[in-house]
Amino acid sequence: MTVRRGEIWRYQAIMRERTVLVVSCDPLNDDGRVLVIDILDIEPPGRRGMVSVSLGEFGYGYGHIIGVAPSERFVERLGVATTEQMADVKSVLLTVFELHD
């Protein structure tokens, strides 16, 4: 299965199904190990909201929950984040890892 950066997927984790946003680059995705952030139904409150991104109808990408997802567990492609949303995701990930100058 081909999974691309910026896509939103239903993902079958070990204990539950999750909605995730693919954040890793496509060459890494092609190797079958994909970096994702969880998508939540509601915006995280307080400081956690600093590391969330609105993904419109899909919910909120939460940059504090980052994981590696085997590509064979991706169930259904639900959509694609916009260029603006991915720019916001980039900013959140830079904040989470304190990579700002």
Residue 78: closest CA among 93, 54, 56, 52: 56
Mean pLDDT by 10 residues, the chain (101 residues): 95 93 96 94 86 95 92 96 97 88 66
Predicted local confidence at residue 101, as pLDDT: 66
Predicted local confidence at residue 49, as pLDDT: 82
Q: HSE-up of 20 (CA within 13 Å, CB side)? A: 29
Predicted local confidence at residue 27, as pLDDT: 95
Rounded to the nearest angstrom, the gap between the alpha carbon of residue 62 and the centroid of all alpha carbons in its chain is: 7
pTM surpassing 0.85? yes
The set of residues, in sequence order, having a beta carbon less than 8 Å from that of 60 and lying 6+ positions away, is 39, 40, 41, 42, 43, 44, 52, 53, 54
